[in-house]
Structure 1
């Protein structure tokens, strides 16, 4: 389960691009808290702390106890924007979590025992169809990842969603079919080059000629200027 972390924030005044740029000039990142039946609250967060949390991983599945001017709220990040050139955070959205709440999250899939997978050891390749699965989970039980065990998979075998052990209360949002998570593809066999195939077929014939003696000489051409033989009688 994803852990709970604390994060300090302050209320910011004003909304829109101008107000957001002003917050960034002060070394802070604009954000907003919404949901839970309450009005949206514009906030500002410390740039360095937020940047570290984003790049530490699992940011969108981590529950935060947000200290907003001394009042604490339980929230989870729902989205964030990065500068397309500098990859620095520009804005972050938080969702309030009320008791008993559930939410949709993308849960990563971790693949275990690739080193002993029979299909991979025979030359097969792990073909990952889904690196993450969208699930509805309890706010108090957000998994960091689900695992797929490859220890017994042969070439052409697949792992489906029903093969994965899911944490209690966690259900995939796509429930109408048993979709594929990954499969073991067979090794690729390169097609034989035509020239190589011709050379291979010609080799036995050449060997046979060498073993039986000299090859038969081609028929001698008629000397230049020699008269042509008359056709047999009765033939033109």
Structure 2
């Protein structure tokens, strides 16, 4: 069952960095609403209320109801800026949508059945996610909250590609439209299980630099070499005359 998110907003006339800082000190976040057939307008929303909604994954991919000046509009969250340190909200972009116009949105992937997959339970493999969300194109009424992927039948070294996902009717995956079909998830052995074992130290050949030279007395002559001549006896010194 889809959730229904409602965002309350109010118009604001002051713009600029100074006006935005003053607005934030009152607990509100500067935002802009654009798209559709109307002109962009500057608005403000409650920081605390929006902070709670942003903790829900579906908020990012859902069609939102924006209440502004007594009217309701269908919008999507288009952009979000946070403080780099404390992650407080600095600015929000909302885009109006039209029921008869296609929109593109990032939709999260939900994986199930990994714990009973034969490649994991029997083969000892691990699940590696290459994608956690995908971009879809559809009419607003067909926008899915998420796309589910069942891993329960995957064997070791099995791969699921983008073209194998089960998407709802009326929903297209934009990467497939451009000819790309990346892998989404794979089951493979852990890296340590496939690395070759190191060679034992005792079986390694001794480097030539560390080998001892053969004893000169016991060394055999090289093949094809002439035998070494015996050293001539030293001549005796002549005796001194008396």
Bin for the TM-score computed over the shorter chain = 0.7 to 0.9
Shift of 1:196: 5.8
Shift of 1:109: 1.2
Which residue, 181, 184, 188 being the options, matches 2:184? 181
Larger Rg: 2
The C-alpha deviation readout for 1:72-128, integer Å capped at 9, x for no partner, is 211111111111111111111101112223211111111111111111121112121
Q: How does 1:1-236 map to 2 (within 5 A)?
A: 2-121=2-121, 122-175=123-176, 176-187=179-190, 188-195=193-200, 198=203, 236=230
Aligned CA RMSD, in angstroms, stands at: 2.0
Contact persistence 1:60–1:79 (CA under 8 A): no
Q: SS at the partner of 1:76?
A: strand
Corresponding residue number in structure 2 for 1:208: none
Q: Which runs of 5+ in 2 are unaligned?
A: 205-228, 231-242
Shift of 1:37: 2.3
Q: SS at the partner of 2:73?
A: strand
Q: SS at the partner of 1:140?
A: helix
Contact persistence 1:2–1:141 (CA under 8 A): no
Contact persistence 2:5–2:59 (CA under 8 A): no
Shift of 1:190: 4.1
Q: Give the distance between the partners of 2:5 and 2:152, measured in 1 at CA.
A: 35
Q: SS at the partner of 1:130?
A: coil
The C-alpha deviation readout for 1:144-202, integer Å capped at 9, x for no partner, is 21111112211221101222110111111112133211111234234323336739xxx
Q: Give the distance between the partners of 1:95 and 1:141, measured in 2 at CA.
A: 17
TM-score (norm 1): 0.79
Shift of 1:36: 0.3
Shift of 1:132: 0.8
Size of the aligned set, in residue pairs, is 202
Which structure has more strand as a fraction of its residues? 1
Cα distance change, pair 172–197 in 1 and its aligned pair in 2 (3 A): farther
Shift of 1:16: 2.1
Q: Which runs of 5+ in 1 are unaligned?
A: 200-234
Q: SS at the partner of 1:115?
A: helix
TM-score (norm 2): 0.77
Contact persistence 1:134–1:172 (CA under 8 A): yes
